[in-house]
Chain A
C-alpha cells in the first residue's frame, strides 16, 4: 500500500504543476521513453525531520515546463536552455509545499539548493510496488517522483 506521504507528494506535485505551469497528470500510465535525455533533480530538507525528493523526467518535460512558465513556445531556444532551471525551481516549490503538508507549519525546515544533472540513458525506474516512488504521466511524458525519509540531499 502506498504510504500517506507518497500520496501527499503526488498530490502536491500535481497541484503545483497545475497551478504554476498549467500542466496536468494524464492518469494513464505509459512506458518511459528510452530514447531521450533525462533530467535527475534532487532537493532535501533538514529540521526536526529530514527527507529528500528526487524527480526523474525526460528533458522534453523540462522544456515544456520552462515554456509554460515563461509563456513561450517549446520550440524557442530559451525553453531548452532554461529547462534545468525550470525543473529545479519547480522541485523547490514542490518541496516547500510538501514539507508543510507533511510536517505542518510550526517548525522551521531548511531546504537544500536543488540540483539537476543530465542522464544520457533512461534511469532505472523503481517498480510500482516501491512504497516511496510514484510514477506519473504528464502531458505524455512519464516521470517518477521518489521520497526518501530520513535522508537529505548531500549538496548544500
Chain B
C-alpha cells in the first residue's frame, strides 16, 4: 500500500496533471486527496492523515505560504513533508519557504523525472515502476 498524498492547487487541470505525472514517474502512491486552497487543505487534513503534500503558492482564500505557516504552528501537522510546486522563481521567496520549513521546491513547468526525484525519498518507487529518464521524457508535465 502506497503513501497517501494531498495535492493543493486551485487548478483542477494541474491537480489532474500531477496525478498523471506521479503515475508516469512510477511513484508508490496510495490515496490521493485534492484541495483547491489552504482552507480546503486544512479541512482535508482533519479527516485524512497524509504522508506528503504538494502545495501551490498562488491560490485564492488561503495561499500556500499562509497554509505552510499555519501547519508549522500545529503539533499534528508540522511534520508533514511539503513540496512547493509553483511558477515563482524568486530566490528570496524560496529562501523564505526554506526558513518556514519545506521539504522541496519544484518550479512549473517540470518534467516527470524532476517530480520523481523530489518525491522518491518520501514515497519510494514501485517495484514495477519503469519510469527511467527516457520514459519520463514522454510525460506531459
Contact = CB atoms under 8 A, between A and B. Distances in A.
Interface of A: 16, 19-22, 66, 68-71, 82, 85-86, 88-89, 92-93, 95-97, 99-100, 105-109, 111, 113, 156
Contacts of A99: 88-89
A109 B11 contact: no
Contacts of A19: 109
Contact of A82 (B12, B87, B88, B91): B12
Given A85-B12, A89-B11, A107 B58 contact: no
A97 B89 contact: yes
Contacts of A105: 89-91
A66 B87 contact: no
Contact of A69 (B13, B59, B86): B13
- Which range contains the number of B residues in contact with the other chain? 20 to 34
Contacts of A109: 88, 90
A8 B17 CA distance: 27
Given A20-B109, A89-B11, A96-B108, A111 B58 contact: yes
A97 B12 CA distance: 21
B66 interface: no
A113 B58 contact: yes
A113 B89 contact: no
Nearest to B17: A69
Contacts of A92: 11, 58, 87
Contacts of A88: 11
Given A70-B17, A71-B20, A93-B109, A111 B12 contact: no
B16 interface: yes
Contact of A95 (B59, B87, B90): B87
Contacts of B91: 105-106
B115 to A, nearest CB: 14
